[in-house]
Structure 1
Amino acid sequence: MFSNSITKLFKIQYPIIQAGMVWASGWKLASAVSNAGGLGIIGAGSMYPPVLREHITKCKQATDKPFAVNLPLMYPDIDKHIETIIDLNVPIVFTSAGNPKTYTSFLKSKGITVVHVVSSSLFAQKAEAAGVDAVVAEGFEAGGHNGREETTTFVLIPLVKQAVKIPIIAAGGIATGRQMLAAMVLGADGVQIGSRFVCTPEASSHINFKEKVIAAKEGDTLLSMKKHVPVRLLKNKFFEEVHAAELNGADVNTLQQLLGKGRAKKGMFEGDLEEGELEIGQVSALINEIKPAAEIVNEIWQDFSAALQKPIEGM
C-alpha cells in the first residue's frame, strides 16, 4: 500500500489528482476517478450555482470516496458557490486564479482542506502563508489558463520544493506514470492531470474536441493572450485570429472583444472546432485514444510502479 503526504491529506489510494477543467470535469468524471483510487475534481468555473449543486449531489451519490471542487476565485458568483460547497459538505477545495488569502481561512474554519494552484515559487510562498494545506505547482506546459512566467514543470517543481514546506502537487505536461515518477523525483508529492482525462467517456467535453485532442501533434498548442489572461490553446481559426491580433500589437481591450463571451463553451462543450476556444496542454501530443477514467488511473499507477522498480540503464 502506497502512502505519502498527499494520500494521507486527501485519504486516497494513489497520489493522482484529476484537474477541475471547465466544460470537462463534471460529476461523472470526478466520481470515476475517485472510485478508481485517485482524487476526482468537479470544475466549478463553468457552472452556474444550481448546476454545481446538482453535480456535487450526483457525485456524492456515485462515490463514497473523497472528491473535490475546483473554485476559480475570479468566478462572479463565488459566494454562492462557497455556500453550496459548505452546505453539501464538500471535503476538499482547490482554489485558483486569485488571492488565496481571500477565502482560505474561512473554508478551513468549516473543516475543508484547501489547495491552491500556483505558477511560481513566490505564489507558492504566498499560498503557504495564507494557510493552504498544499499547492498545485503548474508548469508552462499545462492547458488552459497559465502563468505569465512561462516556467516549465521541470524547473518549477524543484523551485517550489525549495520555497515551501507544505505538500506539492505537480501539474503541466503529465499524462503517464513515468512522467509522474519524474515529477516526484523532482520534489512533488503527487500529480494533477488534466488533458489525459479530457479524452474519457466520462468527461463532459464534446466528442469533436476529444477527437481533436487525440489528433494533436507536437507544436499544435501555444500560449496565447498573455496581455489579457494567458491561456494555452489548440491551433484553429479562432487561435489564428488571436495570434494575428497579438502580432499586430493588439491591446487588452481588443483581445477582450475578440474573445467575446462563451468562446470556451462553444469550443470544448459544443464542439465548434473553428470558432471555439480549445484549451489543452502540450501533452496532448502523447494522447492517442479515448478510454475510461478508471483505466487511465490504473495505467498511470502501473506505469509509475514499473518505472520505480526498473533500474536506470547504465547505472
Structure 2
Amino acid sequence: MQRITSLFNIQYPVIQAGMIWASGWRLASAVSNAGGLGLIGAGSMYPDVLREHIQKCKQATDKPFGVNVPLLYPDIDQLINIILEEGVQIVFTSAGNPKTWTPVLKAAGIKVVHVVSSAAFALKSEAAGVDAVVAEGFEAGGHNGREETTTLVLIPAVCEQVKIPVIAAGGIGSGKAMAAAFALGASGVQIGSRFVATPEASSHINFKNAVVNAKEGDTMLSLKKLAPVRLIKNNFYQAVREAEDNGADVTALKTLLGRARAKAGMFEGNLEEGELEIGQVSALIHDIKPAAQVLEEIWTEFKATIRQLNNPDS
C-alpha cells in the first residue's frame, strides 16, 4: 500500500482509470481532491483539448494527478510534447510498447506506469524502466488483453515476476474487491467502471444509466482482431458479432467500426449504434454518486473487510 501512496504522494492507493470519453479534468480533479489519484484520459482528446484539460485540472486541484496515454494513437508525439510542456508529473501508458516513450518521460522526471495484460508484458515494462505496472484482467472495460487472463490469476502471476509495484485492475469496484487484490499481492488498485457512474464523469447520462442498468452477462469482449474491447450488448455489438462469426477480416471490421463510434455511444449517448465500453463490474454498479463518495465508500469497505479477515470470529 505504502509503495503506491509514497510513489504518487497520495492518501489512498486508489487510481481512477483514464477512460476515453469519461475521464476529463472534472473527474480527475475530484478523485485527486478526495485522496486518490485522478487520471485524465488522453485517448479521446486532440492535443489542444488535452492541454485545456491539464490546465483546468491544475486549477481545480493542488493534489497530484496524471494523464493516461494510449500509445497506439497517431498523434502520440504531440500528446507527449504537451504533457512535457505542461509539467505533468505522472503518466500512465497503455496499448503499445513502453520502451518507446518511457525514457523520454523519465528524463523529464515523470513517474511512468504501464498497463499490461500478462506477466511477460510486465517484465518488458519493468525492463523499460517504468515505476509500476497496472495488471489489468480480462474483466476490465475498454481495450483488453488477447490472453483473456482474469484478474484473480493475473495479479499473482505478475507479482511473482516483477519487483516494481503492481496495481490491480479489472473487475474492481468495491472495497471487498480491493481487499482481494491486496491479498493477491497488489500494492494498489485502478478503478474505471465505478467512476463512470459519477456526475463528474464526462460521459453522457444515457451511457451512465446504461452502466447502472447493466446486468450480469450484458458485456462481452469483442473486436479481437483489431484491439480487444469489452462492450455492452447493443445493435452495434450484434453487428460486430455477426461479422466476426462470418469471418470478417481486419479491413471489414474497421469499416464496420467507422469513425467516432465510441464518441457516439459514450459521449453523445447513442445506446444502439454507439460503442459502449465498460467492465463486467458494471453488473454490480447500481447508482450514480459523486466521485468523492465512491472513493470514501470503497476505502471504508476495504478497511472493514481487512479487519474482518484479521478477526474472522469477531
User: TM-score band (shorter)?
Assistant: over 0.9
> Which AA in structure 2 matches 1:263?
R
- How do 1:226-237 and structure 2 match up within 5 A? 226-237=224-235
1:26 aligns with 2:24: yes
1:66 corresponds in structure 2 to: 64
1:200 corresponds in structure 2 to: 198
2:99 corresponds in structure 1 to: 101
d(CA) in 2 for partners of 1:155, 1:94: 22
- How do 1:35-54 and structure 2 match up within 5 A? 35-54=33-52
The Cα of 1:314 is off from its aligned counterpart by 6.5
Runs of 4+ in 1 over 4 A off after TM superposition: 312-315
Unaligned runs of 5+ in 1: none
Identify the match of residue 268 of structure 1 among 266, 273, 284. Answer: 266
> Which AA in structure 2 matches 1:227?
K
1:161 corresponds in structure 2 to: 159
1:57 corresponds in structure 2 to: 55
> Which AA in structure 2 matches 1:127?
S
d(CA) in 1 for partners of 2:281, 2:96: 25
1:304 corresponds in structure 2 to: 302
The Cα of 1:84 is off from its aligned counterpart by 0.9
- How do 1:1-315 and structure 2 match up within 5 A? 4-311=2-309, 313=312
The Cα of 1:118 is off from its aligned counterpart by 0.2
Q: Give per-residue Cα distances to partners, 1:25-75, cap 9 Å, x unaligned.
A: 000000000000000000001001110000000000000000000011112
Query: How high is the sequence identity, in percent, across the aligned residues?
Result: 71
d(CA) in 2 for partners of 1:225, 1:100: 23
The Cα of 1:313 is off from its aligned counterpart by 4.5
> Which AA in structure 1 matches 2:194?
R
d(CA) in 2 for partners of 1:222, 1:81: 31
d(CA) in 2 for partners of 1:252, 1:177: 40
The Cα of 1:80 is off from its aligned counterpart by 1.2
d(CA) in 1 for partners of 2:172, 2:226: 26
The Cα of 1:251 is off from its aligned counterpart by 1.1
TM-score when normalising by structure 1: 0.98
Q: Give per-residue Cα distances to partners, 1:253-278, cap 9 Å, x unaligned.
A: 11111101100000000000011000
Number of residue pairs matched by the alignment = 313
> Which AA in structure 2 matches 1:269?
F
Secondary structure of the residue that 1:114 maps to in structure 2? strand
TM-score when normalising by structure 2: 0.98
The Cα of 1:94 is off from its aligned counterpart by 0.2
The Cα of 1:77 is off from its aligned counterpart by 1.1
> Which AA in structure 2 matches 1:256?
K
d(CA) in 1 for partners of 2:80, 2:159: 30
